[in-house]
Structure 1
Amino acid sequence: MAQKTKHLLHILTAQPVIPVVAVENAAEGVELARALAAGGLNAIEVTLRTPAAFDAIRAISSEVPETACGAGTILEPKQFDRAVNAGAKFIVSPGATVELLDAARSSDVPLLPGSATASELMAMLEEGYEILKFFPAEQIGGAAFLRSIAPVFPALRFCPTGGVSMSNVRDYLALPNVICVGGSWVAPKATVAAGDWAEITRLAREAVALGD
């Protein structure tokens, strides 16, 4: 677990924002990953919200090697295994089940499981997890919630996702228990659909600057 935590930390601490994206086909995923990387965002979470997700993860991992491509919205072990086989460098789940944790335990690819309540946080600590997804962040208490639990769970650090945008991202990044955020605003659907990769790169640079 320690080695997987170290690997996940290496990915998540390299940039203040992890783009959370859904793509319509593998080629779009490759172009998007290249545009984000050109702006300095070299890790990306491709969510399983479209049928093209696994193909996109495979293509990005193969054709954009400078990008650490993760798989998001993983809900069950079968999806975990498919994502790893496609080349995912990290796995993201909105929550955690016994079956999913078992799959993660037998894999070298790190899992970023979601937790949102005190009981879930305690359970994840017992499982050896120190880095968690906080989702949907804004709807379940936002930065105020994370600030309030920091003294109670000093070992935990979070990647808040859900409702995070340029209007509130600095509130999250200012917290000592937040290592990065997940956000979709760096790759708006309309911009991706239009193939405006220059605008995606501009948004990526803007996101990278948040870490300065």
Structure 2
Amino acid sequence: MAVNDKISALDVMRDAPVIPVIVLHDVKDAVPLARALVAGGIRMLEVTLRTREALECIELISKEVPEAVAGAGTIRSAADAQASALAGARFGVSPGYTRSVGKACHDLGLPLLPGVATGSEIMMAQEDGLTELKFFPAVQAGGLAMLKAWQGPFGDVKFCPTGGVHAGNAHEFLALSNVACVGGSWIVPTDAIAAGDWGRIEALAREACQLSR
């Protein structure tokens, strides 16, 4: 996948078994973290908009680590989507779904993985043409049992469960036919980022890529 290739939400979900949920507090960590994840086999990087440094981190990754595909997480408004696209994000992830966020991402050409937790939210997203969805917060909202229940009425939807997913249970989610990947922060632990332990993060990424789906 070249740096300027257009991607879809399904491309984002299928690239690796895990999309890392990244929280960065220092811009100096952005590039080495991205390089470590790419070296470990993970290219789709969700940098959450939970810190004031997030947009600058996305911009740095986009410019300096062309092998990575930087995305923006925690998109909650059209303004968030616009700022993310301007920073170089190539996909977006939201904790929930509103039509204004969906329209903004569509107009920007920014593939979106919107968060859903109920059947009604899935139906609203589908009405707007979205069939690749983030199930959030996955464990707290019903976990494996909920995903299995959705296989019947929403058999045409692919999910990325995020929230409470970790190395110990990720394989159970990935075994489900309607799960394309999972989202998780366990491969980017805050203590490893703080210590600059990029070797540990690369190793965690390699382990995550071995998860079967």
Which TM bucket (shorter chain)?
over 0.9
Separation in 2 of the partners of 1:167 and 1:211? Answer: 13
Write the mapping of 1:45-56 to structure 2, written as runs, cut at 5 A.
45-56=46-57
Unaligned runs of 5+ in 1: none
Write the mapping of 1:30-45 to structure 2, written as runs, cut at 5 A.
30-45=31-46
Separation in 2 of the partners of 1:98 and 1:59? Answer: 30
Separation in 2 of the partners of 1:129 and 1:201? Answer: 32
Write the mapping of 1:37-186 to structure 2, written as runs, cut at 5 A.
37-186=38-187
Q: Please tell me whether the aligned partners of residues 58 and 71 of structure 2 are also in contact (alpha carbons under 8 angstroms).
A: yes
Q: Please tell me whether the aligned partners of residues 117 and 135 of structure 2 are also in contact (alpha carbons under 8 angstroms).
A: yes
Measured against aligned partners, the alpha-carbon deviations of 1:155-198 in whole angstroms (never above 9, x if no partner) come to 11100100100111011000000000001000100011000000
Q: Please tell me whether the aligned partners of residues 61 and 67 of structure 1 are also in contact (alpha carbons under 8 angstroms).
A: yes
Count how many residue pairs are aligned between Structure 1 and Structure 2.
208
Q: Please tell me whether the aligned partners of residues 25 and 55 of structure 1 are also in contact (alpha carbons under 8 angstroms).
A: no
Q: Please tell me whether the aligned partners of residues 32 and 192 of structure 1 are also in contact (alpha carbons under 8 angstroms).
A: yes
- Superposed CA RMSD: 1.3
Separation in 2 of the partners of 1:91 and 1:67? Answer: 14
Letter aligned with residue 36 of structure 2: A
Quick check: 22-31 or 179-188, which moved more? Answer: 22-31
SS in 1 for 2:211: helix
Measured against aligned partners, the alpha-carbon deviations of 1:12-59 in whole angstroms (never above 9, x if no partner) come to 201000010101122201111101111111111000111100000000
Q: Please tell me whether the aligned partners of residues 15 and 211 of structure 1 are also in contact (alpha carbons under 8 angstroms).
A: no
Separation in 1 of the partners of 2:99 and 2:123? Answer: 14
Give the drift of 1:123.
1.0
SS in 2 for 1:49: coil
Q: Please tell me whether the aligned partners of residues 138 and 163 of structure 2 are also in contact (alpha carbons under 8 angstroms).
A: yes
- Kindly report structure 1 stretches of 4+ aligned residues shifted beyond 3 Å: none
Measured against aligned partners, the alpha-carbon deviations of 1:122-155 in whole angstroms (never above 9, x if no partner) come to 1111111110010010100011110111011111
Q: Please tell me whether the aligned partners of residues 20 and 47 of structure 1 are also in contact (alpha carbons under 8 angstroms).
A: yes
**TM value normalised by structure 1:** 0.95
In the alignment, structure 1 residue 7 sits paired with structure 2 residue 8: yes
Provide the identity percentage.
48
SS in 2 for 1:69: strand
**TM value normalised by structure 2:** 0.95
Give the drift of 1:6.
6.2
SS in 2 for 1:12: helix
Separation in 1 of the partners of 2:212 and 2:190? Answer: 24
